[in-house]
Amino acid sequence: MTLTINPLTGIPEIAQGDDLPALLLEAIRRTGWEPEPGDVLVVTHKVVSKAEGAVVELEGEEEPAYRALAKQEAVEIVRRRGDLIIARTKHGFVCANAGVDRSNAVPGTAVLLPHDPDRSAHGIRKAIAAATGVDLAVVVSDTFGRPWRRGLVDVAIGVSGMDAILDLRGTTDANGRELHVTEVAIVDEIAAAADLVMGKATAIPAALLRGLEFTPGEGRARDLVRGPEDDMFL
Amino acid sequence: MTLTINPLTGIPEIAQGDDLPALLLEAIRRTGWEPEPGDVLVVTHKVVSKAEGAVVELEGEEEPAYRALAKQEAVEIVRRRGDLIIARTKHGFVCANAGVDRSNAVPGTAVLLPHDPDRSAHGIRKAIAAATGVDLAVVVSDTFGRPWRRGLVDVAIGVSGMDAILDLRGTTDANGRELHVTEVAIVDEIAAAADLVMGKATAIPAALLRGLEFTPGEGRARDLVRGPEDDMFL
């Protein structure tokens, strides 16, 4: 099935209390699309955090204030190099500066991760369902680095309306062999795909995917967090 | 710009010496599309390796033979747990079992990574250009796990016709702040996006992306390899 990904443009700068679901719905309609069952809406966390007020003023000298804030958001520092920390957040995600970010933030401020990104995704989904009667899946994304590979990729930090992981256990490949690859992080692939139409320098904070085959479900991005007992790199 | 991703279906089981570019071109045409400049063709390495003969018979007991082969393909073992090794390959990639895989392989055999996946991508690109006059970008993908996050995602292990990394250094965000996120692993996001239409259990080994904004270039997937001096997790 053909997969189509539309960037959602024209969304204004977001501030605390803005009706983000309404702005996303308007942006979907500007593309000429009306929400349909099976659509997946991807929203970068930056606008979600701003709408929820997860923004902090950096008082005094900006650079040290930013470093202190990142440390404060970290529940565990996994690695440190100079001023950069790779840290586990309260959600369980491991990322640079515990997810605290200043790009596309008002100067003098930093944007935190949403308090509960799965819940944020759920709220957007329910608001759009209430307005349209259509139950989309929603993914909240962020931009993470990775060990061993240069460059950053977008991943999912919040999900509603679908499983975070596509579990192929028990299925077989074209030769009848049981699949070795049993768990696909489908929401991370969705976040990465959406980033291809969003771009970092432009102010496009969302995208809509149509034509994806997935099973609706009540997954959470927290399902992606590998526990320490299951991780060889902690 | 809208991004469209078409799965390329109907590609038969591939064996050494098969004309993979011709089969891919036929599959593109079966979707109703003719290659266009700016298209990106994503091919899973499995069919590339098979066409190149990078397939090994597992002699004797299959399981120990497979483990021995994975060790043989590893230039460095990064982590080990039970029978599973996370290893650096000769290309510099860090992945499970040094990229040796038995899913979608003929029973009793294992498929290695292509000897030089950037060169494989280049060969496919040049053959399609010779047949059609159209210079596509080509990405060869594989399925990798990651530390800290459950589930697997497709990443790029070979590239031709575009840069592997989108370098945003010097560009500014919507507020005029110089971007902190300066390097996007665009080819990894392309591989992940393509996997959304391919699926692991089906025999769809390729996809075509149309509508992606990128700058043609002569990048290589090896550009994605973070050197030990630059990596906090080696």
Distance CA A66, CA A84 (A): 11
The residue of chain B with its CA nearest to that of A190 is B193
Mean pLDDT on B43-58: 97
Query: Looking at the partner chain, which of A7, A188, A226 has a beta carbon nearest the beta carbon of B153?
Result: A188
The residue of chain B with its CA nearest to that of A180 is B103
> Tell me, what's the pLDDT at B208?
98
In the block, residue with structure tokens 């944007």: A111
The residue of chain A with its CA nearest to that of B207 is A2
> Tell me, what's the pLDDT at A173?
67
Cβ separation A225–B146 shorter than 8 A: no
> Tell me, what's the pLDDT at B164?
96
Distance CA A15, CA A34 (A): 26
The per-residue DSSP string of B80-97 comes to EETTEEEEEETTS-EEEG
Chain B residues closer than 8 Å to A193 by CB = 3, 5, 189, 192-193, 196
pLDDT, tens only, B62-71: 999 999 999 9
Is the model's pLDDT at B178 over the cut of 70?
Answer: no
Amino acid at B192: A
Q: Percent of chain B, pLDDT > 70?
A: 94
- Chain A: closest CA distance from residue B130 (Å): 27
Query: Looking at the partner chain, which of B1, B192, B232 has a beta carbon nearest the beta carbon of A197?
Result: B1
Cβ separation B197–A172 shorter than 8 A: no
- Domain span(s) for CATH 3.30.1330.100 in chain A: 4-53+113-225
- Domain span(s) for CATH 3.90.1660.10 in chain A: 55-112
Distance CA A100, CA A85 (A): 11
Chain B residues closer than 8 Å to A147 by CB = 94, 146-147, 226, 231-234
Domain B55-113 grouped into CATH 3.40.50.300: no
Nearest to A184 by CA among B174, B155, B208: B155
- Domain span(s) for CATH 3.30.1330.100 in chain B: 15-51+116-222
Q: At what angle do helices B117-132 and B20-30 cross, to 10 degrees?
A: 60
Long-range CB contacts for residues B31-36, cutoff 8 Å, separation at least 24 = B31/A2, B31/B6, B31/B208, B33/B6, B33/B208, B33/B210, B34/B132, B34/B134, B35/B128, B35/B132, B35/B134, B35/B136, B35/B208, B36/B134, B36/B210
In the block, residue with structure tokens 């591939």: B14
Query: Looking at the partner chain, which of B147, B200, B225 has a beta carbon nearest the beta carbon of A184?
Result: B200
Structure-model confidence comparison of residues A12 and B170, the more confident one: A12
pLDDT, tens only, B76-112: 999 998 888 999 999 999 999 999 999 888 889 999 9
> Do β-strands A109-111 and A55-57 pair in parallel, antiparallel, or remain unpaired?
antiparallel
State phi, psi for B159 to the nearest 5 degrees: -145, 145
> Tell me, what's the pLDDT at A206?
98
- Domain span(s) for CATH 3.90.1660.10 in chain B: 55-113
Which ipTM was obtained for this model? 0.95
Which CATH number is associated with domain A4-53+113-225?
Answer: 3.30.1330.100
Distance CA A142, CA A88 (A): 14
> Tell me, what's the pLDDT at B173?
66
The residue of chain B with its CA nearest to that of A4 is B4
pLDDT, tens only, B67-83: 999 999 999 999 998 88
Class at the top of the CATH hierarchy for domain B15-51+116-222:
alpha beta
pLDDT, tens only, B31-45: 999 999 999 999 999
> Tell me, what's the pLDDT at A193?
98
Chain A residues closer than 8 Å to B189 by CB = 153-154, 192-193, 195-196
DSSP lists the bridge partners of residue B183 as B167
Question: CB neighbours of A69 closer than 8 A, spacing ≥ 6?
Answer: A56, A58, A100, A110, A112
> Tell me, what's the pLDDT at B4?
98
Amino acid at A130: A
The per-residue DSSP string of A22-89 comes to HHHHHHHHHTT----TT-EEEEEHHHHHHHHT-EEE--SSHHHHHHHHHHHHEEEEEEEETTEEEEEE
Contact A153, A143 (CB under 8 A): yes
Question: CB neighbours of A193 closer than 8 A, spacing ≥ 6?
Answer: A3, A5, A209, B3, B5, B189, B192, B193, B196
Nearest to A55 by CA among A97, A100, A19: A100
> Tell me, what's the pLDDT at B232?
81
The total number of residues shown for chain B amounts to 234
The total number of residues shown for chain A amounts to 234
**Chosen from B146, B157, B197 to mutate, greatest number of chain A CBs within 10 A:** B146
Cβ separation A179–B200 shorter than 8 A: yes
Query: Looking at the partner chain, which of A175, A179, A185 has a beta carbon nearest the beta carbon of B106?
Result: A175
Distance CA A92, CA A89 (A): 5
Chain B residues closer than 8 Å to A234 by CB = 147-148
Contact A185, A193 (CB under 8 A): no
DSSP lists the bridge partners of residue B159 as B139
Quick one: DSSP state of residue B230?
G
Question: CB neighbours of B233 closer than 8 A, spacing ≥ 6?
Answer: A79, A147, A148, A233, B147
B206: pLDDT confidence band, cut at 50, 70 and 90? Answer: very high
Which CATH number is associated with domain A55-112?
Answer: 3.90.1660.10
> Tell me, what's the pLDDT at B200?
61
Segments of chain A scoring below 50 in pLDDT: none
Quick one: DSSP state of residue B147?
S
> Tell me, what's the pLDDT at A180?
59
